[in-house]
Amino acid sequence: MVYLKTEDEIDALRSANLLVSITLAELARVIEPGVTTKQLDTLAEQVIRDHGAVPTFKGFPNPYGPPFPASICTSVNETVVHGIPSENVTLKEGDIISVDCGTLLNGFCGDSCYTFRVGEVSPQVQRLLDVTKASLYKGIEKAIVGGKRLGDIGHAIQTHCERAGFGVVREFVGHGIGHEMHEDPQVPNYGKQGSGMALSNGLCIAIEPMITMGNPSIRMRPDRWTVDTQDGKPAAHFEHTIAIHDGKAEILSTFEEIEKIEEQKYGKASCD
Ligand code: MG
Ligand code: MG
């Protein structure tokens, strides 16, 4: 069942998502070699709770194992999604880390993810980040009312990434968002043009390409959360929550502050 949102509900979703963006920007300031993913989790939880919200990931149920133990997912290098923060995982120069973050604020959810560089990364890895982030916006461009369907979003993401020689993970997809973090419909990062549900005003969805440098096959670790690429090559993950209203997409989360901080740290990023 797809719940279309009212303007008031979209306002509430915007607040929850801006808090995710604030949290990710706070992490951007401290991500550097020597920092543990546990430190990032502690900071994220503090920022979220200081704003009167709850980290939706903490205690998130898992049908195959224990609930998620932390406030953010920290997925380093070959980890695609759902990496568990740990004091035993220390970031080092040249790593990439995707941080996925969710909030519940005034009854509505925020959900956004950004893949950060740790120091200088190889040109090949930088290209993976650039292409994945650009594909997210290619997908969002298709989120308009009047003939466009869910499949058009997935098709745009898939085409952009596969043309660059990268893999599109199939097992995990974007989703509707509202009172619940995961609502209908599913929003795959692949698809056929003109297929799937017609897009309409009030539809609020998280779009989140998970893209691999090599083969898109994945495997799950024994912790029943961490998902790695099977070939051990790196993966990137960027996610925005959007609301379709007035016929087009408004991006409710924002990378603006993160990008400013990255520019201060590393100089201007290249972008596809
Ligand atoms: Mg997410
Ligand atoms: Mg999501």
Query: If you measure from the C-alpha of residue 254 to the centroid of ligand 2, how many angstroms do you get, rounded to a whole number?
Result: 14
- Condensed to tens digits (0 to 9), the pLDDT of residues 192-246 reads 999 999 999 999 999 999 999 999 999 999 999 999 999 999 999 999 999 999 9
Report which DSSP code applies to 92. Answer: -
Q: SS3 for 209?
A: coil
Residue 271's pLDDT band (boundaries 50, 70, 90)?
A: low
**Average pLDDT score over the chain:** 97
Query: If you measure from the C-alpha of residue 71 to the centroid of ligand 1, how many angstroms do you get, rounded to a whole number?
Result: 11
Query: If you measure from the C-alpha of residue 111 to the centroid of ligand 1, how many angstroms do you get, rounded to a whole number?
Result: 5
With a CB cutoff of 8 Å and minimum separation 6, the contacts of 234 are 77, 78, 96, 125, 128, 212, 213
pLDDT at 146 over 70: yes
Ligand 2 is an ion; its neighbours by CB within 5 Å are: 111, 206
Query: If you measure from the C-alpha of residue 134 to the centroid of ligand 1, how many angstroms do you get, rounded to a whole number?
Result: 17
Give the orientation angle of helix 123-141 with respect to helix 150-163, to 10 degrees.
Answer: 160
Query: If you measure from the C-alpha of residue 187 to the centroid of ligand 1, how many angstroms do you get, rounded to a whole number?
Result: 13
Q: What is the per-residue pLDDT for 268?
A: 72
Q: Where does residue 141 rank: exposed (0-12), middle (13-18), buried (19+ CB within 10 A)?
A: middle
